[in-house]
């Protein structure tokens, strides 16, 4: 998997978000490319972010940098960990769900 942007390690952390829990990259609907965060996308593209729509949430668009598996948006938004390797996701990422998925965390998630 090629992760674009300002990546700082082989698990997909970037210069903006590099805690132990920052291990996912998101495939952006607008370009089909994986970036660690919206800031990396903004700094490295010449187009606006287009959020995924709820009807697209079965799209495999979340790359786990630890186990290298791709999850659907729905799987990611409804879990605190990767379903394959159980790596804990950064709970603060939900603050940006409106940018990536056009919705807030509480409107689509079960936890």
pLDDT tens per residue across span 63-80 = 999 999 999 999 999 999
- Tell me if 55 sits within 8 A of 15, measured CB to CB: no
The C-alpha atoms of residue 55 and residue 75 are separated, in whole angstroms, by 14
Rounded CA-CA distance 95/89 in Å is 13
- 0.85 exceeded by pTM: yes
The reported pLDDT for the residue numbered 58 is 97
Domain boundaries, the chain: 24-103
Task: Give the pair of three-digit tokens for residue 41.
Answer: 């996308």
Tell me the per-residue pLDDT of 6-64, one tens digit each, with 9 for 90 and over: 999 999 999 999 999 999 999 999 999 999 999 999 999 999 999 999 999 999 999 99
What is the C-alpha to C-alpha distance for residues 41 and 58, in angstroms, rounded to an integer? Answer: 22
Where does the pLDDT of residue 1 fall: very low under 50, low under 70, confident under 90, or very high at 90 and above?
A: confident
**At residue 3, does pLDDT exceed 70?**
yes
pLDDT for position 104: 67
> Is pLDDT of 105 > 80?
no
pLDDT at position 107 is 45
């Amino acid at each position: 998997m090629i992760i674009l942007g300002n990546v700082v390690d082989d698990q997909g952390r970037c210069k903006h978000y590099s805690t132990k829990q920052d291990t996912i990259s998101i495939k952006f609907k607008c370009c089909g490319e994986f970036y660690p965060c919206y800031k990396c996308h903004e700094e490295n593209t010449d187009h606006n972010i287009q959020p995924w729509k709820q009807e697209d949430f079965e799209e495999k668009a979340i790359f786990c940098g630890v186990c290298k598996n791709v999850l659907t948006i729905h799987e990611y938004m409804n879990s605190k960990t990767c379903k394959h390797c159980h790596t804990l996701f950064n709970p603060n990422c939900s603050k940006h769900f409106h940018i990536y998925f056009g919705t807030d965390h509480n409107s689509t998630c079960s936890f």
